[in-house]
Amino acid sequence: MAELFSFTLLLTSALILISILTLFCGYRAFIGPTIPDRVIGIDAIGTNITAIAILLAILTSFDYFVLVGLVLAIIGFISTIAAANYISESEVIQ
């Protein structure tokens, strides 16, 4: 029973920490001095939200959060590539 409590406490602490880090990434995305800083902030937010979804799946034993995390990771990857392409060539689709 003590192991379950410590595991739950660890997951809850990780969720709180990642949520706080997501707020810092939001600050970087809105106040970033350059456009690449803003893109990196948005990419980090997507990664943190994916981590939150996976941690919630482990914490609640609700399997659909894993699928949500995978979809968010794929969307974040595609949007990062589109933003990098836009920054380098100033057009989203060639």
Question: pLDDT tens for residues 24-78?
Answer: 999 999 998 888 888 889 999 999 999 999 999 999 988 898 999 899 999 989 9
Any domain includes 3: no
* Separation between Cα atoms, residue 6 and residue 4, nearest integer Å: 5
Identify which has the larger pLDDT, 73 or 93: 73
Per-residue confidence (pLDDT) for residue 49, from 0 to 100: 93
Is residue 34 in some structural domain?
Answer: yes
pLDDT of residue 91: 60
Q: 46 is in which domain, residue-wise? A: 10-86
Q: Is residue 94 part of a domain?
A: no
Domain count, the chain: 1
